[in-house]
Amino acid sequence: MKVAITALKCSLESPIDNHFGRSAYFVIYDKESKSIELLPNPFLSMPEGAGAAAVQMLADHGVSQIISGEFGQKIKALVDSLRIQMIILKEGDKTIQDIIDLLKGM
């Protein structure tokens, strides 16, 4: 199972990005292979529709869960239709590595 995590920087030491569609980076962690992929968000500067485009990109990468600080209101129906689980993490002091370490324990 692949999990996408929003990140402020292109680093595992980055804090989580609180804005899903406008996240600077997405870190994709594959729980089965333990592989990690860091992707810049190519939709960051879109005037509108950045969240929907990002969801579709992550779905194309086989992501089944997305972890972020918050999601836009228009995203829920789309992630539901793609059978992707949204996880809201309000602990802003966690790094991407902290979150991956938690996922490894699950």
- Whether residue 10 contacts residue 40, with contact meaning beta carbons closer than 8 Å, is answered with yes
Closest by alpha carbon to 92, among 10, 7, 30?
7
Q: Residue 55: phi, psi to the nearest 5?
A: -60, -45
For the stretch 55-65, what's the b/e string if a residue is b when 16 or more beta carbons lie within 10 angstroms of its beta carbon?
bebbbeeebeb
Identify the CATH number of the domain in which residue 66 sits.
Answer: 3.30.420.130
**Strand, helix or coil at 86?**
strand
Over residues 84-104, the pLDDT tens digits come to: 999 999 876 889 999 999 998
- Whether residue 24 contacts residue 5, with contact meaning beta carbons closer than 8 Å, is answered with no
Number of domains in the chain: 1
- Please, which pLDDT band fits residue 73 given cuts at 50, 70 and 90? confident
Cβ atoms within 10 Å, residue 49: 12
Over residues 9-40, the pLDDT tens digits come to: 999 999 999 999 999 999 999 999 999 999 99
Q: Flag the least confident range among 9-13, 61-65, 72-76.
A: 72-76
Question: Distance between CA atoms of 74 and 54, rounded to whole angstroms?
Answer: 12
Token representation of residue 25:
């980076």
Segments forming the whole domain that contains residue 11: 2-104
What is this structure's pTM?
Answer: 0.94
